[in-house]
Structure 1
Amino acid sequence: MTVIVDVETAKTAARALRKDLAARGVDLTHSAALELVAHQLGHRDWNTASALLDRDRREPPQLGAPVPVLRVLDGAVGREFYASLGFELLWEHRFEPDLPLYQRLRRDEVTVDLSEHYGDGVPGAVLWVPVRDVRALHAELRPKLWAHQRPGLEEDAPGGPTFTVGDPYGNHLRFCQPPRGQGA
Structure 2
Amino acid sequence: MITPIFRIFDLEKAKEFYIDYLGFQLDWAHRFEEHMPVYCQVSLHELILHLSEHHGDCSPGSAIRIKMTDLKKYHSALKEKKYTYANPGLEKSPWNTVELTVTDPFFNRITFYEEIL
TM-score (norm 2): 0.91
Unaligned runs of 5+ in 1: 1-64
Secondary structure of the structure 1 residue equivalent to 2:48: strand
Could you tell me how far 1:157 is from its partner in structure 2? 4.5
In the alignment, which residue of structure 2 is the partner of 1:117?
Answer: 54
**Structure 1 equivalent of residue 72 of structure 2:** 135
In structure 2, what is the equivalent of residue 178 of structure 1? 115
Preserved contact between residue 160 and residue 178 of structure 1 (Cα < 8 Å): yes
Question: Paired residue for 1:87, among 24, 47, 52?
Answer: 24
Distance 2:53 2:96 in 1: 32
Structure 2 partner of 1:19? none
CA-to-aligned-CA distance 1:29-70 (integer Å, 9 cap, x gap): xxxxxxxxxxxxxxxxxxxxxxxxxxxxxxxxxxxx111110
Structure 2 residue runs of 5 or longer lacking an equivalent are none
Query: Identity of aligned pairs, percent?
Result: 34
Q: Equivalents in 1 of 2:58, 2:105: separation in Å? A: 15
1:74 and 2:1 aligned:
no
Runs of 4+ in 1 over 6 A off after TM superposition: none
Letter in 2 for 1:96: E
Structure 2 CA distance for aligned equivalents of residues 79 and 148 of structure 1: 14
Deviation at 1:118, TM superposition (A): 0.6
Instruction: State the superposition RMSD in angstroms.
Output: 1.4
Flag the structure with more relative contact order, 1 or 2, with Cα contacts below 8 A and sequence separation at least 6: 2
State the TM-score, normalized to the length of structure 1: 0.59
The answer to which structure has the higher helix fraction is: 1
Distance of aligned partners of 1:128 and 1:76 in 2 relative to their CA distance in 1, 3 Å threshold: same
Post-superposition CA distance 1:103-136 (Å, at most 9, x none): 1010101100110001111111111010111111
